[in-house]
A and B are shown apart, each in its own frame.
Chain A
Amino acid sequence: MKRVLTDKEIQHLYWRAGFGITYHELIKMRGLSKQKIVAHIFAKSTNEQLLELDLKMLEKGDKKMSKVEKNTIQKLHNEKLLELNQLWFMQMKTTEGVLRERMTLFFQNHFSVRMRHATYMKDLHNRIRKNALGNFGELLLEVSKTPAMLRFLNAKQNRKGQPNENFAREVMELFTLGRDNGYTEKDIKEAARAFTGWGFNKQGQFVFKEKHHDFDNKTILGSTGNFDGEAVIKLLLKEKQTAHYLSIKLYKYLVNDTPNPEHVKSMANAFYSSGYNIKTWLESVFMSDWFYDKQHIGVKIKSPVDLITGLSRQFDVHFNKSKVLIYLQRQLNQMLFYPPNVAGWLGGTHWIDNSTLMIRLKLSSVILNGGMIDTSLKEDMPENIMMQGQNSKAKKYGIQKQVDASVDWQVVLVMVQDLDKEILTNFFIQPQLSITAQQLIKESVHLDHKNFIVKLLSLPEYQLC
C-alpha cells in the first residue's frame, strides 16, 4: 500500500527538503503518496538556476594598477558579493526548485570558502549549484579546481620541494574522511606533494604546472604510486569512510542533530554503492520510514536562512530596502558567502545565543506586524504602554528600526480564515508545544486570526522545524 502523508509529515518534508510550505501548496499535496510528493520535489529542482550577475567591470586587464585603482576594484568586489548574496536570497524565496537550493546551501557550507572576490565566489557557487543534485565525486573534483578553492587553501603555492599542507589537510579533514578518521599526519604530507602543481591562470581556468609538480612516489592511505591530485581524490572516494562521514553530516542537516548509526549506515550504503549519486542519497532519506518518525519532527533549530526564507515564502514578504536582508544575516550570524572559517557554520544550537535568540523571536512580529505581537493588549501595564508608545512614536530600536518589510495579509488570511485555531497552530508550529506554549495559546484563542498567527510565530517553538 502506498503511504499517504499526514499534513504534519508533508510540512516536515517541505521544511527539511525546502523552506517550509504555504497553505496553498499543502492543500495540493494532501492525499498524495510519499513517492509522488518526493518525485514532485525532485522534478521541480531539475533546473540548475545558475546565479547570473554581470561581473565584467571586475576584469583587471593586463596593465598594472595603481593603489587607488586596486582599492576601487576591491570595493566593487565587495558590492558585487552583496548583490550576489541578495540574488541568492531572492531565488530561495521565490523558486519552486527548493531542493536544489537546500543542497546548494549544504555544499556551499561543506566547501566553505570566504574570499572577497565576487568572480571566483560566483564561479564556485554556480559549480556547486550545477552538481548539487548530481554526483559528489564530480562535485568534489570540480570544486577543488576552482580558483576560489585553490586560492583559499593555498594549493597554488603548494610546490615541489616545499609543500603547503593547507588543501591536503582540509580535503581529508573537512571534505571527505572527516577529522581524525583514518588518515595520518604523514598522509597529509604525502597528499600535499601529490597536489603540487595545481593552479589557475588569469582567466580563472585550472592549470597543471608540471615544473612545480612532484613526480616522485607518494604513499597515501596505504597505497604507493606516482599520484597526482586527481588520483588522491579518487583514493579518498574509494574509502567508504567518505560516504559515512558525509552521511553523518547530511543526517544532521536534514534529519536530527543526533545521528542514528543505523540510519546513517543505510544512507552511506546507498551513497557509496551508487558511486556517490546525490539523488539516490537523498532518496534514502526522504523515502525511508524513519525520516517521518515523530522524534525527528520539529526538533531542528532553523538556520537564520531557513527562518527568514521560510517566513518570506509563507507570507510573501517584500523587503522594502534591499539592505535589510544583509542586516538580518549579519545580526543572526549567517551571512551567505561569508562563512566564519573553513569549517563553515556548525548549525544547531550554535545559531543560538542571547542576542540572536531575542532578535529571532522578535523577527516575525517586526516583519509581519510592525513589531507588535498582540495589538489587543490592555494598556494597564507600564510595559505595554511603553511598547505601544514606542511604536506609535516611531521610537524604534534595533531590528525594528532597520527592518522595513511589507506583507499582504489579505492573501494569507483568505487562505486560512476558515481554519480553527488548532489547525492554524498545527500548520505554523512544527514541534510539540511546551506546556508553557500550550498555556499561552489557550489564553490567546479569542484573538483574531492575524494577532493569533503573529503570536504563534513569536513562540520559541517557531524557531524549530
Chain B
Amino acid sequence: MQRRDFLKSSILASGMALVPSFLKGMEMLNPQNLSGYKNIVIIQLSGGNDGLNTIVPVGNDIYHRLRPNIAKSREATIRIQDNLAFNDNLKALAKLYDQGELCLINNVGYPNPNRSHFRSSDIWHTASSAGEYLKTGWIGRYLDANCQYPYQAIEVDKGLSLTLKGEKMNGIAVDNPNLLFNNTREPFFKNIVTNANTALLHESNQGYLYKTMLETYSSASYIKEKSKIYHTKMQYPNSGFAKDLKTIANFIVSGLDTRVYYSSLGGFDSHVNQLKSQDKLLATYAEGIAALVTDLKQNDRFDDTLILTFSEFGRRVKQNASNGTDHGTANNVFVIGGKLKKAGVYNEVPNLSKLDANGDLIHTVDFRSVYATILNNWLMVNDTTILNGDFDKLGFV
C-alpha cells in the first residue's frame, strides 16, 4: 500500500484503526450521556405463531368447540380479563402486562392475506400490500432516509432479513462482533476497500459484493469497539435466542448509535401436535424477553427501548386432524417498553363468530399502522415516505 493510500484509508477508517486510545475515556462516560437514544428491538416468531393459543380467548365457546384437542383450559392459562388469558408459558409477559409494560394489539394483518410463509413474511418485511412486490424492507428504507451508517440497524442473527435491506444501504448482520472485526483486519482487504470507487459500483452482483464489503468496513470496528463498554454479567437462559438477546442488550447498554435491532425465533409452523412444540417455543421466547427486560431495567435503558414481536401470520381457528393448525391470517402483536402511552389490551379481542371464507380471522388493524406509529411517534421520523402511504397511528407510544 502506498502512503497516499494509507492516509486515505485512515480517513475513511476513522475509528476503525487498531485500538483507538480514546475508547479508554469512553468507558468513563456518564450513563446519562448515553441515553436519549430510542431503540426498537424487532422480533419475528417465524413459521406463523398460533396467536389464539398464545393469548387465549379462554371463555369463548367457539374456541373450545373448534379446537377439541388443543384448546387451552383455564388452568393452563394466566388470566387477563374474563375472556382473555396468557398461555401459561408466558409468565414473564403476564408480569410485564401487570406492570403496564406490555401492549397487546389484536387482529393485526392486511387485506387479501397470503398464507404462504415466504410471501407473507415478505409482505411484513417490506411493508407492502398483498399485491405489491417490493425489493426493500421497511427498516432498509428507514436507513436510506434517516441514517448515516449501516450499523444503525443491526440484525443479531445468521443472515440479514429483507426488513433491513435498503436501496442505498443495508443494515448489518452480526453474530459475533469480534469475529467480524477480526476478519476485516486483512491488509489486502483494506487495500480493496480503500481503492474501491463507490461511484462505479453498479447494481450487479459484483457491485453488491463491493457494497457489502464497504458497509462491513464502515461498521465492524465501530460495533466491536463500542460494544466493549458493557458486557452483561446477568445470567441469560441457555438458548440461541436468549444469546442473541444478550448480544442486543450489550449493544444497547454500550450505547451504540444503533436504533433498530432485529432477531428471530423460528419453529412456529405447528401443523402437528402443536401443544408441545408451541408451548416450548413460547417459554423460550418469554424467558429470553424476561432476561433482556431485566438487563435493560438494571441499566436504565428500558424506558427508551421498545420491543416489537410479530409473526408472519396467525393460524386457522379450527384445528386440523393432526392436533395442529394450518396457516391462517390475522394475529396478535406485542409491544413491550417502559414508557408506553397505552398499555394492556389495545383493542377488541378476535371475533371467532365472524371468520372469512377459509375459517380465518379477519384483520381490524393494518400492520403498517403499527410500523407508522413506531416510525413517527417513537423514532420521530416521517413514516409516510418510508411506508409509501399514510396509515393511521395507534396510541401505544
A residues engaging B (CB < 8 A)?
A: 154, 157-159, 161-166, 169, 173, 179-180, 185, 257, 299-301, 333, 341-343, 348-350, 352-359, 361-362, 365, 373-374, 377, 381-384, 386-387, 397-398, 431, 434-437, 439-440, 455, 458-461, 463-464
Q: A354-B212, A436-B192 are in contact. Are A397 and B205 (CB under 8 A)?
A: no
B205 x A165 contact (CB < 8 A): no
Closest residue of chain B to A373 (Cβ to Cβ) is B188
A381 x B191 contact (CB < 8 A): no
B206 x A357 contact (CB < 8 A): no
Closest residue of chain B to A185 (Cβ to Cβ) is B358
For the complex of A and B, the 9 pairs showing the least CB-CB separation, nearest first, are A162-B321, A157-B322, A358-B183, A353-B173, A354-B216, A460-B209, A373-B188, A353-B160, A397-B182
B287 to chain A minimum Cβ distance, whole angstroms, is 23
A198 to chain B minimum Cβ distance, whole angstroms, is 13
A179–B358 alpha-carbon span in the complex (Å): 18
B205 x A384 contact (CB < 8 A): no
A439 x B195 contact (CB < 8 A): yes
Select which of B1, B180, B197 is within 8 A of A354 by beta carbon. B180
Q: A381-B187, A384-B187 are in contact. Are A459 and B205 (CB under 8 A)?
A: no
B 1-51 contacts with A by CB, 8 A: 1, 6, 18, 47
A434 x B210 contact (CB < 8 A): yes
Residues of B within 8 A of A463 (CB): 209
Stretch at the interface among B98-106, B110-118, B242-250: B110-118
Residues of A within 8 A of B216 (CB): 354, 357-358
B118 x A343 contact (CB < 8 A): yes
Q: A163-B321, A354-B216, A373-B188 are in contact. Are A436 and B210 (CB under 8 A)?
A: yes
Q: A162-B321, A355-B173, A358-B183 are in contact. Are A374 and B188 (CB under 8 A)?
A: yes
B 287-309 contacts with A by CB, 8 A: none
Closest residue of chain B to A343 (Cβ to Cβ) is B118
Residues of B within 8 A of A299 (CB): 204-206
- Count of B residues near A, CB < 8 Å? 57
Residues of B within 8 A of A342 (CB): 117
Residues of B within 8 A of A352 (CB): 208-209, 212
B residues engaging A (CB < 8 A)?
A: 1, 6, 18, 47, 114-119, 158-160, 172-176, 179-180, 182-192, 195-197, 200, 204-206, 208-210, 212-213, 215-216, 219-220, 266, 271-272, 320-322, 324, 326-327, 358
Q: A185-B358, A435-B197 are in contact. Are A179 and B322 (CB under 8 A)?
A: no
A166–B160 alpha-carbon span in the complex (Å): 27
Residues of B within 8 A of A300 (CB): 205
Closest residue of chain A to B195 (Cβ to Cβ) is A436
B292 to chain A minimum Cβ distance, whole angstroms, is 22
Residues of A within 8 A of B117 (CB): 341-343
A202–B188 alpha-carbon span in the complex (Å): 57
**Knowing that A348-B205, A460-B206 are A-B contacts, what are 10 other residue pairs whose CB atoms are under 8 Å apart, sorted by A's residue number?**
A157-B272, A157-B322, A163-B320, A299-B204, A341-B47, A342-B117, A358-B180, A386-B18, A386-B185, A436-B196
Select which of A343, A387, A440 is within 8 A of B185 by beta carbon. A387
A164 x B324 contact (CB < 8 A): yes
B159 x A350 contact (CB < 8 A): yes
B320 x A165 contact (CB < 8 A): yes
Closest residue of chain A to B215 (Cβ to Cβ) is A354
B327 x A165 contact (CB < 8 A): yes
A431 x B206 contact (CB < 8 A): yes
A151–B242 alpha-carbon span in the complex (Å): 30
Residues of A within 8 A of B200 (CB): 434-435
B183 x A458 contact (CB < 8 A): no
B191 to chain A minimum Cβ distance, whole angstroms, is 6
Closest residue of chain A to B178 (Cβ to Cβ) is A397
Max chain A Cβ within 10 angstroms of own Cβ: one of B18, B159, B188: B188
A383 x B190 contact (CB < 8 A): yes
A301 x B205 contact (CB < 8 A): yes
